[in-house]
Structure 1
Amino acid sequence: MKKFILPTLLAATAFTLAPTPSADAHCQVPCGIYDDANVLAEMKTDIATIKKAMGQITELAGDSKNANQVTRWVNNKEQHAQNIQDTVAKYFLAQRIKLDESNSEEYIKKLTLLHQITVYAMKCKQTTDVENVTKLDAAYQAFVKAYHAH
Structure 2
Amino acid sequence: MKKVMVLLSVCLGLLSPLAWSHCQVPCGIYDDHARVTQMLEDAATVAKATAMMAELAGKEDAQSQNQMVRWVVNKEQHAQKVIATISDYFLTQRVKSSQKDYQQRLVKHHEVIVAAMKAKQNADSKYAEALTKAIEALAPYYPEHKH
- 2:33·2:139 contact (CA, 8 Å) conserved in 1? no
For structure 1, the 5+ residue unaligned runs are: 1-21
Are the structure 2 counterparts of residues 29 and 110 from structure 1 closer, same or farther at C-alpha, using a change threshold of 3 Å? same
1:33 CA drift (Å): 4.5
* CA displacement 1:89-140 (0-9 Å, x = unmatched): 0000000111212xx3x21111111111101100111111111111111111
For structure 2, the 5+ residue unaligned runs are: 1-17
- 2:111·2:134 contact (CA, 8 Å) conserved in 1? yes
Please say if 1:60 is aligned against 2:56: yes
- 2:46·2:79 contact (CA, 8 Å) conserved in 1? yes
- 2:22·2:89 contact (CA, 8 Å) conserved in 1? yes
SS of the residue corresponding to residue 22 of structure 2 reads coil
- 1:110·1:147 contact (CA, 8 Å) conserved in 2? no
Q: Would you identify which runs of 4 or more consecutive aligned residues in structure 1 move more than 4 Å?
A: none
- Name the count of aligned residue pairs: 124
Which of 1 and 2 has higher RCO (CA within 8 Å, sep 6+)? 2
Give the TM-score normalised by the residue count of structure 1: 0.75
- 1:113·1:143 contact (CA, 8 Å) conserved in 2? yes
Structure having the higher Rg: 1
SS of the residue corresponding to residue 64 of structure 1 reads coil
Give the TM-score normalised by the residue count of structure 2: 0.77
CA RMSD of aligned residues (A): 1.9
Tell me how far apart the structure 2 counterparts of residues 83 and 26 of structure 1 sit (CA, whole Å): 12
